[in-house]
Amino acid sequence: MINSLQFKQGNVPKIIPLLTRKVCFGADSNIRFDCPYIVHVEQKEKTETFFFLGKKDERTGKQMKAFLILEDGNVFTGTSIGSTREVISEIVFNTSMTGYLEVLTDPSYAGQAVVMTYPLIGNYGITPDMESAKPWPDGYIVRELSRMPSNFRCEDTIQKFLVDNNIPGIAGIDTRALAKILREKGTMNGMITTNENYNLEEVLPKIKEYTVSGVVKKVTCKEKSVLNGDGFKVALLDFGAKKNIARSLNNRGCEVTIYPAETKAEEILASNPDGIMLSNGPGDPKECTEIIEELKKLYASDVPMFAICLGHQLMALATGADTHKLKYGHRGANHPVKDLKTGRVYISSQNHGYVVDETTLDPNVAKPAFENVNDKTNEGLEYVGKNIFTVQFHPEACAGPQDTAYLFDRFIDMMKMKKEEQ
C-alpha cells in the first residue's frame, strides 16, 4: 500500500478518470494522497500501476491505524479510512450483501456507526444510487475496502466519499467477531479514533454516556417540495425518508408533496390530499412527542394512510400502543416477514432498532398484519375501521428485494376506493 510516489523527469502520470475528478501533477513531483487513487505511470519501457488506499501516518510513514473501542472494553485495531475525526456513536450492524451506498445514504442511520458484515465493500465504488443527498452514519466499519472499484457508472471511491463527507471509518477488523459481540451483548456505543495513546479508563465513561437524540430534526427536509404527477395527491411526511418512497409513489402517477417532519396536521389536511404517507427515519420514536400529537389529528381524519418503519411506530404511539428497543435490531436486506392474513412469507429490507409492542395494542384500534419470522416481533398493523395500514419493513427496498412493493399498489387502491365513495 503506497501513499507517496516520486515521479522522475520523463514519466507521465495519469489518473483513471472514473476515480477522481481533479488532480494536478508536475513533471518532477513528489505526490502524496490522503484518499485512494489508482495511478498509472507511463514510461517508455512499461506502465506501472499503484494503489493508494488510506491515510499515511506522518510520523511513521505507514498507513494510519484506527481503533474501535466498545463500551464493554473490547478494542478492535484496524486501518483508518475516511476522515480522521474522532467520533462516539451507537454501533449497529447491517447484514446486506449489496447496497452499501444505499445504506450509507439512508437517513435512518443518523446517530449510528454502521458495521457491514459482508466482508468486501466498495467493489463498484460510488454510483448515482443514493437514497438521499449525503451519507448519514457517524462512522463506517468494514472488513475489507475494495482496492479498485469497477463499474461503468462509478463516479468515485468509498474512501474519497467518506473523506469528502467527514465520516471516519475503520477497515481490516474482524467484523464477524464484532457482529457476534453485538448480537450476544446487544447494541452498544463505541468510539472510532486514530489516537494510539487513548486512555481506556478515561474514554469508557464518555462512550457510555452517548445517546442518539434529535436525529429526526437533523435529517428531515427543511421546506416543502413537490414531485409532479397526474394521479392521486399524496402528502409525504419526511421523518428521514429514502428517495425511493416518493419515487415509488410518483412512478404510479401520484403527485407527491414532501413535508418537513414537524408540519402541522392542519396544513397537510388543508391541501386536501388523497392519501398521507409516513416515512422511515432514525432514533427513538418516543422522542418525537410533537410529531405524535400531530399524527393523532391525522388519524382522526378519513384520509387513507400508509406508514413505513418509524412512521409505523409513531402511528402506534399516537393510538395508545407502546414501543421498545430491540436487543440488536434488524438491519439488512434478507429479513423474512409473514403476512398473517395469507400466511405468505416475503423477504424484506429492514433498518430499525425499535419495535411496536403487540401486547399493548388495543384490538379495537389495530390488529397485527405482519410478523417477523425470525423473532416473532411485529412487522405491521392494520387499523380497525380506518383506511390505515403500517409496516415495520421497507417495501421501497433500495437496497433489497422488491417482494413487498405491491403495498404501494394497495395504498393506491385505498385512495381509489375512498375517491369512489365520495
Strand partners, 236: 258, 277
**3-class SS at 265?**
helix
C-alpha span between 38 and 147 (Å, rounded): 9
Q: What's the burial of 161, exposed, middle or buried (CB within 10 Å: 0-12/13-18/19+)?
A: buried
Please tell me the distance from the alpha carbon of residue 84 to that of residue 81, in angstroms, as a whole number: 8
C-alpha cell at position 387: 383506511
Give the largest Cα separation in the chain, rounded: 81
Give the active site residue among 255, 309, 371, 379.
309
394 is catalytic: yes
How many separate helices (H) and strands (E) can be counted in the chain?
10, 24
In terms of phi and psi (left: phi > 0; alpha: psi -120 to 50; beta: otherwise), the region of 283 is: left
What's the rounded Cα separation, in Å, for the pair 293 and 194? 44
Parallel, antiparallel, or unpaired: how do β-strands 225-227 and 168-171 relate?
Answer: unpaired
Place of cell 456505543: 189
Burial 269-279 (b: 16+ CB within 10 A, else e): beeebbbbbbb
Q: Tell me which residue of 313, 254, 304, 323 sits closest to 279, measured CA to CA.
A: 313
- Catalytic residue, candidates 90, 254, 394, 398: 394
d(CA 365, CA 271): 26
Give CA–CA dist 263/164, Å, rounded. 32
Please state, in angstroms and rounded to a whole number, the distance separating the CA atoms of residues 147 and 16.
14
194: three-class secondary structure by DSSP: coil
From 288, 379, 396, 398, the catalytic residue: 396
How far is the C-alpha of 69 from the C-alpha of 200, rounded, in Å? Answer: 8
Our answer to whether residue 352 is catalytic in this structure is no
The answer, yes or no, to whether the previous bond of 270 is cis (omega within 30 of 0) is no
Distance CA 175, CA 181 (A): 10
Q: How many residues does the chain have?
A: 422
State the catalytic residues.
Answer: 309, 394, 396
